[in-house]
Amino acid sequence: MSGKQLSEEEIDRIIEMAWEDRTPFDAITFQFGLSEQETIELMRREMKPSSFRMWRKRVQGRSTKHRKKRSFDEGPFKSNQQRQITGNKISKR
């Protein structure tokens, strides 16, 4: 693990970010200085074994967790089929 000691709040935030589908490991590296492998080690250490296995199964091969595998470059994915949000509150009549 890196030389930096993490607070409980930081560990909770890293776990939350690791569970999020659209948050790449690069974002955790940028914000907390942990590599992907260090994040995996933290998850293994902080979670119950069954929860860790479920997380690993979910994350392994998920292209959105690895910036180089993403089909989009910036921001969250937005489908072309998704309607534009307008300020008009009655637009869904």
Task: Give the phi and the psi of residue 61 in degrees, each rounded to 5.
Answer: 80, 0
DSSP assigned state of 46: H
Looking at per-residue pLDDT, the higher value among 7 and 22 belongs to 7
* Residue 70 predicted with pLDDT over 80: no
Q: For the chain, what are the domain ranges?
A: 8-69
pLDDT at 6 over 80: yes
pLDDT for position 58: 87
**Mean predicted confidence (pLDDT) in 27-33:** 92
Provide CB contacts within 8 A for 77, sequence distance 6+. Answer: 22, 64, 71
Angle between helices 8-19 and 25-32 (to 10 degrees): 160
**Nearest residue to 28 (alpha-carbon basis) of 16, 49, 14:** 14
* For residues 46-53, average pLDDT: 94
